[in-house]
């Protein structure tokens, strides 16, 4: 079983500063066997997961997580020119795979609220 903890650093995204915020993600393997893991991070169309503003979905292969091991990832979130101050939805999906990345054994979902201010 995987345990997923997330924190937005800093807590809000500023349109004026154009600096990203990071989603600090800890994935811990609490089972007795190693797990092959990947993730998919999705934000609203008015936000982006890359500086150019072209992508609102990020897929990442994390690899093998040994028993009792914790992986720490930072996923950046950027504003776009059409972003307005409000709360935007985000979703983090973490997948356990069986042998190959083509086969999903288990899926974990985490819903987020991303606050954008002037």
Average pLDDT over residues 106-112: 97
Report whether 20 contacts 116 (CB < 8 A): no
Say what the pLDDT of residue 99 is.
87
Closest listed residue to residue 37, CA positions, set 87, 108, 113: 108
* pLDDT tens-place string over residues 37-94: 999 999 999 999 999 999 999 999 999 999 999 999 999 999 999 999 999 999 999 9
* pTM for this model (two decimals): 0.92
Q: Kindly give, in sequence order, each residue whose CB lies less than 8 Å from that of residue 53, ignoring residues fewer than 6 positions away.
A: 78, 80, 81
pLDDT band at 17 (very low <50, low <70, confident <90, very high): confident
Structural domains of the chain, ranges and CATH numbers in brackets = 2-116 (2.60.40.10)
């Amino acid at each position: 079983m995987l345990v997923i903890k997330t924190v937005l650093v800093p807590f809000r995204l500023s349109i004026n500063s154009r600096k990203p915020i990071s989603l600090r993600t800890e994935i811990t393997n609490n089972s007795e066997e190693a797990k092959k893991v990947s993730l998919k991070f999705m934000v609203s169309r008015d936000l982006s997961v890359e500086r150019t503003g072209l992508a609102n979905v990020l897929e990442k292969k994390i690899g093998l997580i040994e028993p009792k091991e914790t992986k720490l990832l930072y996923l950046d979130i950027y504003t776009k020119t059409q972003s307005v101050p409000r709360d935007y939805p985000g979703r983090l999906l973490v997948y356990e795979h069986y042998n190959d990345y083509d086969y999903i054994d288990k899926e974990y979902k985490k819903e987020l609220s991303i606050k954008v201010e002037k």
